Amino acid sequence: MQGSRVKRAYISAAVLLLVVALFAVTMATPIFSSTNDFSIYNTSWNGASNIAVATYQLGRFAPALTVEATGTDLTIINSDLFEMDLDPTTDVLMILGPTKSFTTAESGLVGAFVKAGGILVLADDFGTGNGLLVGMGASSRFSGKLMMDLSFDRSPEFSVCFDLKEDPLTINVSRLLMNYPTSISVSGSGTTVIAESSVASWLDSDGDRTRDLGEPQGPFPLIARERMGSGSILILSDPSILINGMIDQLDNGVFADNLVTSICSLRSAVYFDESHRNYFDPITATTQLTAEISDSDKFHVLIVAFVLLVWVTTDYIGRLVGTVVQGMRRIWGRILRLLGRKVIEPEPVAPETVEELLAKMMELHPEWKVGLLRHALRERKRHNEFLGKLTEKTTLIDHAKSDSE
């Protein structure tokens, strides 16, 4: 009995190790990371991973990269705008803080996408966003100059925007904290200003961080929406309001939630353009454990562990299996009898006598005491005969019940 339980314990340990190994494989996933500003692969304070995760949680995130295996290494290649194959009726294109110039072909592609009904979210300050706006035929422009405001937090470069127009993006938003923003130049009746700086703001034309005579005075548009054809461009003069480190400042998080909810309710896929970013630190891929196990998987593991525990420490599982097997045999026998077929009963095997068993045991273990072993075997036989009478009695009762039915 003890040896059998030890054997079962080893089997149970092997099964549990196999289960853990399988879970480790399913939980392992490649993690893409970067330290570049505004990158959705950057989980640090200056990255935009939170905004990408929010679209993913709503089921709208569309991967825009390909992974190539080169031996033991993974090479990450960002999809360009042509490889995204944007659909203006279902897709949103988000471009955050671009630093690489847009070609004429790329600008024309984005312009055609918007005019056909697509949505473009362009957040920039001193990058290459103006080149895209010019190339796609939009009328709005980034001023490219630092907007400073006496309505600020810590310093005028961290301006506080509280002049917010009624819009789905500004629901429950009263203040936004900007981080070195520029301003937006708007023209035409097709552009709506959503947020403006205060009247105490100015554009720092000479870069001395002070308000000088002759420098443009505010208020200035900071967030605007321009209609183009059947689509629209949402223009943000500061991509920093969407980075991880700023998302918890003032009402920036509410604004970001509104933005994600708005675009995800209108479209089924959100693409992030990472191809127009100068990667001083390339994207890396590592394999990590997500440590995420669903509730159903946890339940299955607990069931397996409980069954193995019962199997190792008791005989209940063996008895249950024996009872089920006997029951199935009886059912099968009754079916065969109803069909008029002969039921082949296994030939009874005559049990070994106490002396026969004693001879075998002494042959294997001559050092054992004959008297004690004979007594133990006789007690075992008596106990088995008692159990046999109980089983026979139970069988007779079962047959009587089945006959009466």
Please give the CATH topology (third level) of the domain spanning 36-282. Answer: Rossmann fold (3.40.50)
3-state secondary structure at position 37: coil
User: Could you tell me if 261 and 145 are in contact, meaning their C-beta atoms sit under 8 angstroms apart?
Assistant: no
CA distance readout (Å), 347 to 207, 281, 330, 344, 350: 103, 79, 16, 9, 9
How confident is the model over 283-287, as a mean pLDDT?
44
Beta-ladder partners of 33:
284
Please give the share of the chain, as a percent, with pLDDT higher than 90.
Answer: 45
How confident is the model over 280-309, as a mean pLDDT?
56
How confident is the model over 268-289, as a mean pLDDT?
68
Q: How far apart are CA 271 and CA 282, in angstroms?
A: 20
C-alpha 200: how far from its chain's center?
Answer: 45
Checking if the pLDDT of 160 tops 80, the result is: yes
**Burial of 332 per CB tally in 10 Å (0-12, 13-18, 19+):** exposed
Q: What is the mean pLDDT of the chain?
A: 80
Position 187 confidence tier, pLDDT thresholds 50, 70, 90: confident
From 33-47, 50-64, 100-114, 144-158, the region with the lowest mean pLDDT: 33-47
**DSSP code per residue over 97-111:** S--SPPPHHHHHHHH
248 DSSP 8-state letter: T
Checking if the pLDDT of 327 tops 90, the result is: no
pLDDT (0 to 100) of residue 386? 57
Checking if the pLDDT of 272 tops 80, the result is: yes
CA distance readout (Å), 149 to 106, 183, 193, 198: 35, 12, 18, 7
Greater model confidence, 343 or 340: 340
How confident is the model over 148-154, as a mean pLDDT?
89
**Residue ranges of domains in the chain:** 1-34+291-312, 36-282, 313-404
Position 401 confidence tier, pLDDT thresholds 50, 70, 90: very low
